[in-house]
């Protein structure tokens, strides 16, 4: 006599649960799409503009930025492996050859792809180089004040139309801005404006401010094209590959061929 009411009650509970869960599932992708001003997602690789091949692999502009006395002293004392002052790997004091992160914005100079992933409340940049990840928070939060100085910085973003504007602070002073030893201090502030340009490229306009190292802000841009690649594993092996490759180049005798 009581079997039918029990079945009906079970069906009623199942229906209530279904109705309660269905709007949550439907709203999640909608809120993610409404939050972002433009679709920047995908895997991207460097594009060097005509006339920049001589320097674009290791720095951001043909001319050095204006440096303070502190910045000039740090620059002169450094021993980069790249650029006109390049020294052998065994002599460089570039920390990337000891498997430390390159920092931001220098990460953009390394010739490996990156993937942008847009999520509710944040944008991820996944770099193939050493599998580094930047988390750019877009949920309205402020920079944290309880974090120690970091290699890649603390990044907060917001949308201005179809442009993602990112402010990064909280850096340590152990990295270089580029690969030829332009220095920065722990006062560095990086502003990025990331957007699609009229050539259907991803364009990252950057402004580096550092009153201790730079006599005036350094402004430059980098460009990327979308690919159908996937991000592969690439892990630092503490100088092994670099030294072996460099020794082969130094010992190469083209007259023996």
DSSP class per residue in the chain: --HHHHHHHHHHHHHHHHHHHHHHHHHHHHHHHHH-SS---EEEEEEPPTT-TTTTTT-SSSSPPPB-HHHHHHHHH---SSSTT---GGG---GGGGT----TTGGGGSSS-EEEEEETTEEEEEESGGG-EEEEE-SSPPPPSSPPPBSS-EEEEEEETTEEEEEEE-B-SSSBSSSS--B--TT-EEEEEEEE-TTS-EEEEEEEE-TTTBSS-EEEEEEEEEES--PPP----TTHHHHHHHHHHHH--GGG-
Average pLDDT over residues 138-142: 97
pLDDT tens string 224-234? 999 999 999 99
Residue spans of the domains in the chain: they are 42-252
**pTM across the whole model:** 0.82
pLDDT surpasses 50 at 253: yes
pLDDT of residue 237: 79
pLDDT of residue 29: 42
pLDDT tens string 10-55? 564 454 445 454 443 344 343 444 578 999 999 999 999 999 999 9
Query: Top-level CATH class of 42-252?
Result: mainly beta
The more confident residue out of 103 and 242 is: 103
pLDDT tens string 154-180? 999 999 999 999 999 999 999 999 999
């Amino acid at each position: 006599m009581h079997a039918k009411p029990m079945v009906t009650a079970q069906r009623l509970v199942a229906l209530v649960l279904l109705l309660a869960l269905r709007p949550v599932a439907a709203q999640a992708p909608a809120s993610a799409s409404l939050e972002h001003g433009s679709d920047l997602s995908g895997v991207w690789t460097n594009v060097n503009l005509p006339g920049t091949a001589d320097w674009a692999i290791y720095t951001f502009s043909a001319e050095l930025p204006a440096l303070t006395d502190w910045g000039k002293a740090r620059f002169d004392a450094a021993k980069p492996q790249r650029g006109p002052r390049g020294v052998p790997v065994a002599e460089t004091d570039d920390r990337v050859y000891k498997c430390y992160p390159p920092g931001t914005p220098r990460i953009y100079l390394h010739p490996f792809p990156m993937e942008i992933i847009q999520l509710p409340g944040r944008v991820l940049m996944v770099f193939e180089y050493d599998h580094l990840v930047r988390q750019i928070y877009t949920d309205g939060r402020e920079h944290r004040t309880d974090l120690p100085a970091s290699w890649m910085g603390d990044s907060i973003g917001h949308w201005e139309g179809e442009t993602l504007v990112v402010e990064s602070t909280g850096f340590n002073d152990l990295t270089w801005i580029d690969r030829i030893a332009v220095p920065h201090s722990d006062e560095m502030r990086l502003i990025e404006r990331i957007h699609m340009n009229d050539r259907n490229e991803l364009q990252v306009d950057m402004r580096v401010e550092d009153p201790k190292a730079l006599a005036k802000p350094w402004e430059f841009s980098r460009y990327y094209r979308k690919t159908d690649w996937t991000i592969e594993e690439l892990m630092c092996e503490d100088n092994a590959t670099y030294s072996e490759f460099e020794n082969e180049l130094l010992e190469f005798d083209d007259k023996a061929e």
